[in-house]
């Protein structure tokens, strides 16, 4: 037990060595469980869950997995799905997420690869776009859509505006056909029942489909008109807000008009840098860690605070109004998404709040050095510093 790489639950003379049984790999990934800062206190719910700890639904042409309120009970406002659609196979097919709709809106960030996405709205206007790394799409609740990998396949994270969402209960076109009387299908489409002899007898979900032709050759002209690129936003093409040790890009209904129920910030922090102490005055925050390692302490009032260690593939969560920071504790760039079930991204900076409050009042509370108070930032940079 003397291995210095194995964290021991001993801090400042308190605690004692863990002689096992223990899961050393997990303890090493979450040192702030065994070595919590002395400022942590009280009972707070879990606010971290890894996509590595969930069942993967394997399908022809891809896979999916989800972190919802079932895995992370505190996460009531948003749920996430991580999905892979396979690259072109020897038959010239790529993976597709079948034509479907659901009760929740769907927001997505493309992690790698390329896809073609389609949708049709309630006014009969259609949408089709190709998306690549760093692109977003947004489908309002109830709007039918599909996602098909292009030649190189793709992997993305989907965010739904309800923690109770599950990918396993969406409305799929194959499922509906399979559960409608053949005579009704025949009447609806004005053809003999024999036309439905080959329909699937259950939901397809993910499956192989011939690779789509070039975008220009595949456009269906709608008499009601098209939606252009209304449901797509090229997030990484946006010039970022640059700070000394990181960057921030924000997409919400102010610049991604369609995204009326989901707002996001994509944050990059260099090693040692930190997303400043802040909170959100409108709603809970759901996080997805794209790369790197981090720690976050959540302040919950009543003297309660808890620190969580995050890494790529993790979901984090901060309940409404609770104070927090996110610090890059690794040796590579930390990248993560801050997601909100809201039309706008909004945050309140601790430092800016104090900067714009009479200094004597701040001083009377906190007994801070005068030069610190004089240097507080009055501008709103979404500060990332070290």
Site string for Mn ion, 282-311 (x = CB under 5 A): ---x--------------------------
Contact 291, 335 (CB under 8 A): yes
The 10 Å Cβ neighbour count of residue 223 is 6
Q: Is 338 a catalytic residue?
A: yes
Q: Token pair 């965010």 is at which residue? A: 159
Residue number with CB closer to Mn ion (7 or 300): 300
Closest residue to Mn ion using C-beta atoms = 106
Q: Contact 203/101 with Cβ under 8 angstroms?
A: no
Dihedral of alpha carbons 337, 341, 345, 347, sign: negative
Q: Which residue in the list 167, 268, 270, 338 is annotated as catalytic?
A: 338
Reference 127, options 148, 144, 110; nearest CA is 144
In whole angstroms, how far apart are CA 29 and each of 8, 32, 168, 294, 382?
13, 9, 30, 10, 28
Count Cα neighbours of 107 within 13 Å in the Cβ-side half-sphere: 32
What's the rounded Cα separation, in Å, for the pair 234 and 273?
26
C-beta atoms surrounding 272 within 10 Å? 13
Which range of residues in 40-48, 213-221, 279-287, 329-337 is near Mn ion by CB under 5 A? 279-287
- Residue 35 or 231 with smaller CB distance to Mn ion: 231
DSSP category for residue 385: E
If the CB atoms of residues 285 and 327 are measured against Mn ion, the closer one turns out to be 285
- 66, 93, 98, 106: which one contacts Mn ion (CB under 5 A)? 106
| Least spacing, CB of residue 111 vs Mn ion, in Å | 16
- From 55-63, 104-112, 177-185, 362-370, give the range in contact with Mn ion by CB under 5 A: 104-112
346: how many CB neighbours lie within 10 A of its CB?
A: 14
d(CA 132, CA 108): 11
Count residues near Mn ion (CB under 5 A). 2
Segment 225-244, which members bind Mn ion (CB under 5 A)? Answer: none
Residue 167 as a binder of Mn ion (CB under 5 A): the answer is no
What CA–CA distance (Å, rounded) separates 76 from 45?
13
Please report how close the Cβ of residue 108 comes to Mn ion at its closest, in angstroms: 9
> Which CB sits closer to Mn ion, 106 or 293?
106
| Shorter beta-carbon distance to Mn ion: residue 7 or 140 | 140
What is the smallest separation between the CB atom of 338 and Mn ion, expressed in angstroms?
5
Q: Which stretch binds Mn ion (CB under 5 A): 30-38, 59-67, 102-110, 124-132?
A: 102-110
- Least Cα distance to 306 among 41, 10, 50 occurs for 41
Q: Which residues make beta-bridge pairs with 107?
A: 138, 159
The residue range among 181-189, 205-213, 280-288, 376-384 that interacts with Mn ion, by the rule CB under 5 A, is 280-288
In the complex with Mn ion, the residue whose CB is nearer, 35 or 227, is 227
Annotated catalytic residues are: 338
Q: Which residues bind Mn ion (CB under 5 A)?
A: 106, 285
């Amino acid at each position: 037990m003397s291995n210095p790489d194995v964290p021991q639950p001993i801090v400042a003379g308190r605690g004692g060595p863990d002689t096992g049984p223990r899961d050393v790999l997990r303890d090493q990934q979450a040192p702030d469980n065994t070595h919590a800062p002395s400022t942590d206190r009280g009972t707070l719910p879990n606010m971290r869950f890894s996509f590595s700890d969930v069942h993967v639904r394997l399908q022809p042409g891809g896979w999916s997995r989800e972190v919802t309120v079932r895995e992370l009970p505190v996460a009531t406002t948003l749920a996430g799905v991580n999905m892979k659609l396979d690259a072109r196979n020897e038959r010239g097919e790529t993976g597709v997420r079948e034509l479907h709709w659901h009760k929740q809106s769907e927001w997505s960030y493309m992690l790698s690869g390329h896809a073609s996405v389609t949708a049709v709205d309630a006014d009969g206007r259609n949408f089709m776009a190709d998306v690549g790394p760093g692109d977003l799409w947004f489908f309002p609740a109830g709007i039918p859509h599909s996602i098909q990998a292009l030649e190189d396949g793709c992997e993305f994270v989907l965010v739904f505006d309800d923690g109770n969402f599950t990918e396993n209960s969406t409305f799929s076109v194959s499922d509906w056909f399979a559960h409608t009387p053949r005579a009704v299908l025949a009447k609806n489409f004005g053809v003999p029942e024999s036309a439905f002899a080959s329909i699937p007898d259950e939901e397809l979900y993910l499956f192989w489909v011939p690779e789509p032709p070039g975008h220009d050759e595949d456009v269906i002209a709608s008499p009601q008109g098209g939606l252009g690129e209304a449901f797509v936003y090229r997030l990484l093409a946006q010039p970022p807000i640059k700070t000394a040790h990181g960057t921030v890009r924000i997409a919400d209904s102010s610049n991604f008009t369609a995204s009326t129920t989901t707002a996001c910030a994509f944050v990059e922090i260099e090693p040692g840098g930190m997303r400043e102490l802040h909170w959100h005055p409108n709603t809970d925050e759901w996080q997805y860690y794209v790369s790197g390692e981090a720690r976050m302490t959540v302040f919950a009032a009543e003297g309660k605070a808890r620190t969580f260690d995050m890494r790529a593939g993790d979901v984090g969560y901060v309940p409404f109004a609770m104070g927090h920071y996110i610090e890059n504790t690794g040796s590579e760039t930390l990248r993560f998404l801050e997601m909100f079930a809201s039309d706008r991204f909004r945050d309140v900076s601790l430092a800016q709040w104090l900067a714009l409050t009479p200094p004597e009042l701040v001083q009377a509370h906190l007994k801070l050095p005068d030069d610190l108070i004089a240097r507080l930032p009055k501008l709103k940079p979404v500060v990332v510093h070290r």
